[in-house]
Structure 1
Amino acid sequence: MAVRGPRVKRSLPGRIGWFVVRAVIWFVVGSIVWVGIYRFVPPPVTMTMIGGLFDGRGITKDWMSLSDMDPDMARAAIAAEDSRFCSHHGFDVEAIEKAFKRNASGRKLRGGSTISQQTAKNAFLWQGRSWVRKGFEAWFTALIELMWPKRRIMEVYLNIAETGIGTYGANAGSMRYFKHDASRLSVTEAARIAAVLPLPQKRGAVAPTGFTRRYGSSIAARIGVVRRDGLDGCLR
């Protein structure tokens, strides 16, 4: 019979270190599997949606593939949120630097998030501003850029982004505001939905006034630039 040697008892720091290593391994493997599933399966619910339920906002969503959605909706998102969407790998360094300088000057806080970063946040994380969340956001952004094509990133973004109080996705937003689905949006309608995206609980796409109206008109004008300059080339 084999004789077992004495069992090595780890110190408290050793046990904590081993627990941390195991937790990191589980997180890395789990997040890769999660992102891999969402490459093919529409996210059934997000933390933002769950938060809305607790706040009594409900959930209204209606998934539409990017192929069925009017192309001007994606162009409007690129025009409004991320003009270099097709050329960067998840992070727009130039936009981040501009946002940092603007915020450091004491002017109104403004982010430099790309559509990829916003998709990672909306699909896998919670809302809010903290370095912890930004760290997780960077990780998931890198994963979706590595594992998903750009079309999938845009498709998920346009289907889970909040487009009104308790309303998620461009198709549900189109039904809410214009009474028809997102397959036949006009340039103005697509631009107005894109104008709502940064503050969906405070802005409306129907008869917008003030800043929202001006911003929507500006996006509508830039949609033509996106089309003409091929800034949506990765989606075609």
Structure 2
Amino acid sequence: MGARRGFFARGGLRRLVRLGALATAVMAALPVVLTVLYLPPFVRPISTLMIRDLVTLQGYDRQWVPIDDIAPVLAHSVIMSEDGQFCAHRGVDLGELRGVISDALEGEATRGASTIPMQTVKNLYLWNGRSFLRKVVELPLAIYFDALMPKRRIMEIYLNIAEWGPNIYGIEAASQYYFGRSAKELTRRQAALLAVTLPNPAARNPARPGGGLRRLASVIERRAARAGAYVQCLD
């Protein structure tokens, strides 16, 4: 009897290992498949944070708008604030990444090196919060995402899933909530304020900015005004 129980125990363990491996393979394949499904412009993806808000019965405000109905200065401001090399890199800014790795090896405080494709795949497929494991998964996903998606489509998805406050997602909902106007009607100043809110939407309010946020928005407003080649991939 003991031998039989040991046999079935080993068999049960092998089945669990196989199921675990299958589940891991499915989870790994899901972003690859979904990225292809998200290519058509009529598809409107939602983020993992939106799914969380639905599961916890909080709900959320998101009004999808095509990129042609978003003020160009908003996209330009986001690039100059979040990812200046967006049009040049292929999902990962290798220069910034090398700098972060060098700082870490030297024991210095690390800075952010997330590109817009990296933030997009994080929002679409991964979990929130800082984690080395998440970064390891995020990097190849961002390269794959950028290889398949046109830059305009990446920006369109990002601007429609980015969090701009508690339960507020996408630039249209944010524009209406903070400034009472559509994303297409945003001024240069409003666009800059919304762009510099993105790194910390829980603590920053573009409609009631403090002195530091106003100064940062002024810098981004000036950069967006002369962005030139930095934003040419959106033309």
When normalised by structure 2's length, the TM-score is 0.84
Unaligned runs of 5+ in 1: 1-10
Deviates more, 1:48-57 or 1:87-96: 48-57
Indicate the residue corresponding to 2:233 in structure 1.
Answer: 234
Q: Quickly say closer, same or farther: Cα 1:214–1:144, change in 2 above 3 A.
A: same
User: Partners of 2:50 and 2:26 in 1: how far apart?
Assistant: 25
Secondary structure of 2:164's counterpart equals: strand
Indicate the residue corresponding to 2:35 in structure 1.
Answer: 35
Indicate the residue corresponding to 2:156 in structure 1.
Answer: 155
C-alpha contact 2:31 2:125 (8 A) present in aligned 1: no
Letter in 2 for 1:35: T
Alignment of 1:1-236 (within 5 A): 22=22, 26-40=26-40, 41-43=43-45, 45-52=46-53, 58-102=59-103, 108-226=109-227, 229-236=228-235
User: Partners of 1:156 and 1:36 in 2: how far apart?
Assistant: 13
C-alpha contact 1:57 1:165 (8 A) present in aligned 2: no
The structural deviation recorded for 1:111 is 1.3
Q: Quickly say closer, same or farther: Cα 1:64–1:214, change in 2 above 3 A.
A: same
User: Partners of 1:58 and 1:22 in 2: how far apart?
Assistant: 32
C-alpha contact 1:63 1:159 (8 A) present in aligned 2: yes
C-alpha contact 1:151 1:235 (8 A) present in aligned 2: yes
User: Partners of 1:54 and 1:18 in 2: how far apart?
Assistant: 29
The structural deviation recorded for 1:170 is 1.3
Identity %: 35
* Cα displacement string for residues 71-118 of structure 1 (whole angstroms, at most 9, x for unaligned residues): 011100111011110010001011122333445566654210111100
The structural deviation recorded for 1:131 is 2.3
Indicate the residue corresponding to 2:3 in structure 1.
Answer: none
* Cα displacement string for residues 121-171 of structure 1 (whole angstroms, at most 9, x for unaligned residues): 011111122222112212321221121111111111111111112111111
Q: Quickly say closer, same or farther: Cα 1:102–1:189, change in 2 above 3 A.
A: farther
User: Partners of 2:216 and 2:103 in 1: how far apart?
Assistant: 20
Unaligned runs of 5+ in 2: 1-9
Letter in 1 for 2:72: P
When normalised by structure 1's length, the TM-score is 0.83
Indicate the residue corresponding to 1:8 in structure 2.
Answer: none
The structural deviation recorded for 1:210 is 2.5
Letter in 2 for 1:125: L
> Which one has the bigger helix percentage?
2
Across the two proteins, how many residue pairs are aligned to each other? 223
* Cα displacement string for residues 28-64 of structure 1 (whole angstroms, at most 9, x for unaligned residues): 5433221111222111x32222334577864111111
User: Partners of 2:51 and 2:17 in 1: how far apart?
Assistant: 33
Deviates more, 1:112-121 or 1:123-132: 123-132
Letter in 2 for 1:96: L
User: Partners of 1:202 and 1:105 in 2: how far apart?
Assistant: 30
The structural deviation recorded for 1:20 is 7.1
